[in-house]
Amino acid sequence: MDQKVDFSAPHSMGTTIIGVTYNGGVVLGADSRTSTGVYVANRASDKITQLTDNVYVCRSGSAADSQIVSDYVRYFLHQHTIQLGQPATVKVAANLVRLLAYNNKNFLQTGLIVGGWDKYEGGQIYGVPLGGTIVQQPFAIGGSGSSYLYGFFDQAWKEGMTKDEAEDLVKKAVSLAIARDGASGGVVRTVIINSEGVTRNFYPGDQLPLWHEEMEAHNSLLDILGVPEPMSM
């Protein structure tokens, strides 16, 4: 029986998003698959959105809902910075996200992770799941792929990690979720935030670690089947 694809279905980022603190800052990470039902609407979307120079948010759930919340928070924080004459703290940004998520909890289908660095409290991670709760944590995971990562983080996360250790952990965790979760996929993007500023990194599929029974990336189906390339005329 043919399965009909509903292209008018809501765009959902059945997703893997992660935020991790380390000794000096935070690392945020996400996959890049955006789905419309069973159809992949965007295989290389950017789910880590800038709110201020020092604060970013990872978005999961409904793409439209998470984008509008991010846009409103970015606008309010811009006004806040102008009024105070200094950058907003991570806690202020996270509480603005929480305020919008909680006050509109009956209408929004989005879970968010806010991460950043400020001169008062250093690197901070705040989880704002569906419903508008806010929880400050040393690490936070969200999205459909997070189901596969709780035990992994219990074993792999440790306090006082270096920047490289934290980014390797995030990259490994997202790749694991991609391997197990059909709604996560594409590439891995990371954002490192510390006192020196922000660094964005991009890891395509052929640079990610392989997990149980995963196949290596190939340029062509012929490579997988072992068929020689057709001769060019």
Residues tagged active-site? 15
Are 193 and 167 within 8 A, CB to CB? no
What b/e sequence results for 179-209 when a residue is b if at least 16 CB atoms lie within 10 Å of its CB, and e otherwise? bbbebbbbbbbbbbbbeeebeeeebeeeebe
Torsion (CA) 178, 193, 125, 140 in degrees, nearest 10: 10
Rounded Cα gap, residues 67 and 55, in angstroms = 15
DSSP code at position 38: T
Rounded Cα gap, residues 17 and 31, in angstroms = 7
What sign does the CA torsion over 72, 75, 77, 83 have?
negative
Tokens of 2: 């043919």
CA distances from 90 to 103, 122, 181 (A): 20, 9, 30
Find where tokens 């928070």 sit: 73
